[in-house]
Chains A and B, each alone.
Chain A
Amino acid sequence: MKFLRNLIDKQRKLYHAKDSKFHKVWPLFDAMETFLFAPDFRAGKKGVHMRDYVDLKRVMNSVILAMMPCLLWAFWNTGAQHFAAVGQLIADGNMVAGDYVTGWLQGILGAPDLAAEVTSASDTIIFGLQRMLPLVIVSYGVGLSIEGLFCVIRKEEVSEGYLVSGMLIALIVPPSTPLWQLAIGVAFAVVLGKEVFGGTGMNIFNPAMLVRAFLFFAFPAQMSGDAVWVAGNTSPSGVPGNLIDGYSEPTALAIVKTAGEDASTVLTDVYSHADLFFGHIPGSAGEMSKLAVLIGAFVLLATGVGNWRTMVAGVIGMLVAAFMVPIMAEASGLPMAGPMYLEPWEHLICGGFLFGIVFMATDPVSSPESNIGKWIYGILIGVITILVRMINPAYPEGTMLAILLLNAFAPTIDHFVVAANMKRRLKRS
């Protein structure tokens, strides 16, 4: 410990003073140093002399911990889905086991045994890591580099906000996303979604959601949300990205979209409720296992970092809307669609709504700050998600659009809460 401290103190001299050699990149050194050792700041001479032990690093760290179950499950399930798809292709005679191309990690750790009846756990995890790790690395690498650059330009401490965004991004893009697309998306979201507003704490939209939206609209072929994402290793001609050639299956919500009155049965024919809840489905890491999301929600609430109001309000809003919208549609003679026949609770375990409301909507910066505002905000996210799912003819999933829309309206919601507070005060005097 002492050795490390001495080493850093020695290096510090090169960066800290205004006229020192590397003072220009002091924010980067400071970020590294405070990553290791808590910063050496003490309370001022006047006012409050003691501070809570929690800093923003720990707050962000808690969120990352809460996302771990999702990430770990993605390591496993991405591989599981891949080998299930490959197995299916071989069984159908559409592929020969010998044609299997190994990826970078498989090249290092050994090719998977495709002949085995049950794919081994190590093969599964190796493929999961092979797909997921690059996403995490690119997301953090690109995002943190840009953040660091802006901090150097602005001469201020590097903020921790991106540590959460980076992980969120890796969890909400399909594992088949080409890395170059991801890099462009991250750069777009960090520069135009965050840094132009002044960095962490100042942004209007959730940066991670912006990445998703950017990819969704810029590269619709890979991201349209109705074809399923089973990641492969090759990028054959005619097949965009790294999808497995010749293998595609609609997502749960896409199945429902095209179904009729029997939406529930059509859905459970493909994915059972247990599959949907425990996450034995292909898709983005965050939308796979609802159980992992619930564990994350528990961590967020237990550490007091996430706001329960947004989460509860969102779930209530969704359930009520899912119950009411079909009734209203029927009464007003609107054309009925598949999602309207789904039980309200089935909407909860389909798609990315749970992940969105637990991890994305609770973002303290882009959501309303008042507690009443959080209720309104959560309920509206639930309602709009259902409206997109049921009434919009194009997109099967509405969580992303609902959250981004409500991000934009968060200050408006707050405005009314603040106005009510002022009115109460005015009445008193």
Chain B
Amino acid sequence: MTTHKIKKGFDLPLAGRAEQVLADAPEPTDVGLETGEFVGMKPKVLVKEGDQVKTGQPIFLNKLDRDIVWCSPVTGKVKSVEFGAHRYLCRVVIENSTKDDFVDLAPAGGGSGDRAGVVKAIKGAGLWPLFKQRPVGKMPMGDAVPVAIFVNGMDSAPLAADPAFATQGRKGDLQAGIDLLKQLTSGNVYLSLRAAGDHQSDARSLNGVTVHDFAGPHPAGLVGTHIAAIQPLKTGEIAYALSLVDVARLGEWQRTGKYPTHTVVAVSGSEAKDRKYFRVRQDAQIAALTGGSAPTGDVRVINGDVLNGFAVEPTAYLGFCNKTLTIIPEGTDQRDLFGWAVPQFGKMTNHLSVNFGLKKKEYVADARLNGGHRAIVNIGTWEKVMPLDILPTFLVRAIQANDIEEAIKLGLLEVTEEDVALCTFVDPCKNDVGEIIRQGLDMYEKEA
């Protein structure tokens, strides 16, 4: 076991941490399978409105790889199939009868070394979208064999769910999941855990994984940081990444042959009322986690955390990969008089110029930009929160100049938008660094 100390970074001192209590959320009236989370995917819907579907039955597939499907987490009637522009499938809503009638999803053959077979089985079980491929940070496509699989057993993002806590007591599922992962890679399966963290006894006793400990502020708990510290990828190499919670989901399917219908989601954020961990139906209505009714008022509901997530309608559904649901104030029409000049002691910042030394205190912050967009004026803020050996301003400039070759030389393939989220947060010029990085990655994908 190795401990990596991350020095550069920033932990947003936000109010509204989820209490470490696991409760059962009520059964949602319906579930929604959304496509928006999987950028670049070409969905083809397999059901019609009014169809009766079983738990584990494929609902839509990815036309780019027809083996990859998304399965229904409930048994019930298809309530609606919603399309967006160009008849792009947006979501399929299914009524929840609460009684599960499982489709038999054959588990992968154990330990045969038949990688293709294992991949096909995972895809068929609707669990392939749990994987993220590095570089690029999207669902893995193609036949490239990953040189390593990085399982993330920690999450340092603000108010994010702790995967170690969420998988407590599921050692059997975790071990089955790890055994499955070992068949997918030619190299190691790494497990990253917070140094001296709680609730890790199950995770630390797993066989077949190499455990690495990480200490320090965010982004100490991001897979990009882990890869850079453990085994940086060489040109042409790929790796898979997934969360420990998702390993448990894989393991559950592998052990039972049934679709894992429930997952654990932490509800956090200053505007959330009941802040704790919930065992909840996959793709459930958000209302299931907020006391039965959708959150109201001037709030922003985020599938994910405040540094990496999707803002959704309060009436929408949890995302497929969600581990955290964050509810923060939106901040509509709140405009501070002389906000740029007056000392602000109640505002969250990483800069010293606002409140002269951030006190140990938890802040309620909203979704305002707190300024106008400007050209990059680099006063060293990005570098302070970038622990990777990357020069973020030069990388961004290379992408903006469409110089993809230079960008790759500068480490474009080592990051995704979540790795530079803190740069976006601290930037006084309010640039969306993640968006620029994604543009660069898109360019790379197009050229590759």
A36 to B339, CA, bound (A): 8
Q: A37-B339, A55-B340, A371-B383 are in contact. Are A201 and B376 (CB under 8 A)?
A: yes
The 8 A CB mask of B360-375 against A (1 = contact, 0 = none) is 0000011111111111
What residues of chain A lie closer than 8 Å to B394, measured between beta carbons?
Answer: 369-370, 414, 418, 421
Judge whether B234 and A37 touch: CB under 8 Å: no
Q: Does A239 contact B (CB under 8 A)?
A: no
Q: A37-B335, A50-B425 are in contact. Are A58 and B354 (CB under 8 A)?
A: yes
What residues of chain B lie closer than 8 Å to A302, measured between beta carbons?
Answer: 352, 356
Q: Does A47 contact B (CB under 8 A)?
A: yes
- What's the nearest-Cβ distance from chain A to residue B312, in Å? 8
Q: Does B410 contact A (CB under 8 A)?
A: yes
Judge whether A34 and B372 touch: CB under 8 Å: yes
- Residue from the set A43, A59, A417 with the largest chain B CB neighbour count within 10 Å: A43
Q: Does A365 contact B (CB under 8 A)?
A: yes
A418 to B394, CA, bound (A): 8
| A: number of interface residues (CB 8 Å) | 59
Within 8 A of A (CB), among B112-134: none
The 8 A CB mask of A31-71 against B (1 = contact, 0 = none) is 00010111111111111111111111111011000000000
Judge whether A59 and B328 touch: CB under 8 Å: no
Across the interface, name the chain B residue whose C-beta is closest to A303.
B353
A38 to B391, CA, bound (A): 30
Which residue of the partner chain, among A44, A59, A370, contacts B391 with CB atoms under 8 Å?
A370
Q: Does B341 contact A (CB under 8 A)?
A: yes
Q: Does A236 contact B (CB under 8 A)?
A: no
Judge whether B378 and A364 touch: CB under 8 Å: yes
Which residue of the partner chain, among B330, B369, B375, contacts A51 with CB atoms under 8 Å?
B369
Q: Does A305 contact B (CB under 8 A)?
A: yes
| B: number of interface residues (CB 8 Å) | 76
Q: Does A202 contact B (CB under 8 A)?
A: yes
Q: Does A237 contact B (CB under 8 A)?
A: no
Judge whether A50 and B340 touch: CB under 8 Å: no
Judge whether A200 and B377 touch: CB under 8 Å: yes
What residues of chain A lie closer than 8 Å to B143, measured between beta carbons?
Answer: none
Q: Does A307 contact B (CB under 8 A)?
A: yes
Judge whether A428 and B310 touch: CB under 8 Å: no
- What's the nearest-Cβ distance from chain B to residue A169, in Å? 19
Judge whether B353 and A304 touch: CB under 8 Å: yes
Within 8 A of B (CB), among A152-185: 157, 159-161
Judge whether B368 and A38 touch: CB under 8 Å: yes
Which of B184-192, B209-217, B429-437 lies at the interface? B429-437
Q: What are 17 A-B residue pairs whose CB atoms fall within 8 Å in the complex?
A: A34-B372, A39-B369, A41-B373, A48-B307, A48-B424, A51-B425, A54-B350, A58-B351, A58-B353, A58-B371, A302-B352, A303-B351, A304-B380, A365-B378, A414-B394, A428-B232, A429-B233
Judge whether A53 and B348 touch: CB under 8 Å: yes
Q: Does B306 contact A (CB under 8 A)?
A: yes
Q: Does A246 contact B (CB under 8 A)?
A: no
Judge whether B306 and A364 touch: CB under 8 Å: no
Judge whether B374 and A307 touch: CB under 8 Å: no
What residues of chain B lie closer than 8 Å to A1, measured between beta carbons?
Answer: 337
What residues of chain B lie closer than 8 Å to A39, measured between beta carbons?
Answer: 335, 369, 371-372
Judge whether B428 and A58 touch: CB under 8 Å: yes
What residues of chain A lie closer than 8 Å to B350, measured between beta carbons?
Answer: 52, 54
Judge whether A46 and B370 touch: CB under 8 Å: no
What residues of chain A lie closer than 8 Å to B336, measured between beta carbons?
Answer: 37-38
Which residue of the partner chain, among A50, A160, A424, contacts B389 with CB atoms under 8 Å?
A424
- What's the nearest-Cβ distance from chain A to residue B307, in Å? 5
- What's the nearest-Cβ distance from chain B to residue A315, in Å? 19
What residues of chain A lie closer than 8 Å to B340, measured between beta carbons?
Answer: 38, 55, 57-58, 61
Kindly list the 10 A-B residue pairs having the minimum CB-CB distance in the complex, ordered from nearest: A55-B371, A201-B375, A57-B340, A38-B339, A429-B234, A303-B353, A53-B347, A37-B335, A41-B369, A54-B351
Q: Does B393 contact A (CB under 8 A)?
A: yes
Q: Does A426 contact B (CB under 8 A)?
A: yes
Judge whether B391 and A421 touch: CB under 8 Å: yes
Q: Does A4 contact B (CB under 8 A)?
A: yes
A425 to B415, CA, bound (A): 13
A45 to B391, CA, bound (A): 27
Q: Does B344 contact A (CB under 8 A)?
A: yes
Judge whether A426 and B409 touch: CB under 8 Å: yes
Residues of A within 8 A of B (CB): 1, 4-5, 34, 36-59, 61-62, 157, 159-161, 198-202, 302-305, 307, 364-365, 369-371, 414, 417-418, 421-422, 424-426, 428-429
Q: A52-B348, A52-B349 are in contact. Are A58 and B306 (CB under 8 A)?
A: no
- What's the nearest-Cβ distance from chain A to residue B419, in Å? 12
Apart from A58-B351, A305-B379, list 14 A-B contacts with CB within 8 A: A38-B336, A41-B368, A42-B330, A43-B311, A47-B308, A47-B435, A51-B430, A54-B426, A55-B428, A55-B430, A58-B354, A201-B377, A304-B380, A369-B394
What residues of chain A lie closer than 8 Å to B375, measured between beta carbons?
Answer: 159, 198-202
Judge whether B383 and A52 touch: CB under 8 Å: no
Judge whether A418 and B356 touch: CB under 8 Å: no
Q: Does B162 contact A (CB under 8 A)?
A: no
A52 to B425, CA, bound (A): 6
Judge whether A48 and B425 touch: CB under 8 Å: yes
What residues of chain A lie closer than 8 Å to B369, measured between beta carbons?
Answer: 39, 41-43, 51, 55
What residues of chain A lie closer than 8 Å to B380, measured between beta carbons?
Answer: 304, 307, 364, 371
Q: A40-B333, A200-B377 are in contact. Are A421 and B410 (CB under 8 A)?
A: yes
Within 8 A of A (CB), among B295-350: 300, 302, 306-311, 326, 328, 330-333, 335-341, 344, 347-350
Judge whether B310 and A53 touch: CB under 8 Å: no
What residues of chain A lie closer than 8 Å to B252, measured between beta carbons?
Answer: none
